[in-house]
Amino acid sequence: MTTIAIIGAGAGLGQATARRFGREGFAVALISRTQANVDTLAAELTDEDITARGYAANVREPQALRAALDAAAAELGPIEVLQYSPVPAEEFMKPVLETTAEDLVGPVEQSVYGPVTAVQHVLPGLRELGRGTILFINGSSAVRPSGGVAGTSVAFAGESAYGQMLHDALADDGIHVAQLIIPRGIGGGEPDHEPEALADRIWSLHRDRGEFHTFVGDGTA
């Protein structure tokens, strides 16, 4: 059995994706800052006969993130799919004219340093498997910056650029890299923005291995 590691797991999209991949035979590693939260999510999945465990790590702390990924691979099986989808903090979303250099530290640590740490740590295992998928889940500011959420726009753009470079560099290694852009956020009454529909879309990105960018809906912000 191989594992999907969901970094930034929560009760909405993270749990829906965990269920979707769990139904396909994957073990699920749920990684988030609070152990109690991921333990609750893992218990729900276990009750549904899905192999799952929770691991606490702040993505802004590289050593903790690496340790969580190591524990997941040791306890659940090799990581075949890595999903990077932590929710940005509210303080990352200041208007551009109010955003200082110091305000960019947190967003960049979360959306640039965090994914680079995670990818570099799982990449040797993916190469050993000879296959794998790396998934980045972002809002529309990753490709269309918004002056109202400057920190997230800057950091998501860096994450998107990194993912695109990985997509090109790893294609010949059997490792697919994809980014799902979710305009207007999750839910909100739009059927294709609901967690279960998004989880199906994420599964298709892993299964079908298409282009790097995929937009939910019409792609408008």
Q: How far does Cα 137 stand from its chain's mean position?
A: 5
The number of residues in the chain equals 221
**Positive or negative CA dihedral for 15, 21, 22, 28?**
negative
| Token pair for 185 | 């956020």
What residues pair up with 54 in beta bridges, in sequence order? Answer: 30
pTM for the full model? Answer: 0.95
Q: Phi and psi for 37 in degrees, rounded to 5?
A: -65, -45
Axis-axis angle for helices 13-23, 195-208 (nearest 10): 50
Instruction: Enumerate the domain spans of the chain.
Output: 3-215
Per-residue model confidence as pLDDT tens for the chain (221 residues): 999 999 999 999 999 999 999 999 999 999 999 999 999 999 999 999 999 999 999 999 999 999 999 999 999 999 999 999 998 888 888 999 999 999 999 999 999 999 999 999 999 999 999 999 999 999 998 999 999 999 999 999 999 999 999 999 999 999 999 999 998 788 777 888 999 999 999 999 999 999 999 999 855 45
Measured at the alpha carbon of residue 41, what is the angle toward residues 35 and 45, in degrees to the nearest 5? 135
Measured torsion, CA atoms of residues 89, 91, 96, 99, in degrees rounded to the nearest 10: -130
Q: Which CATH class is domain 3-215?
A: alpha beta
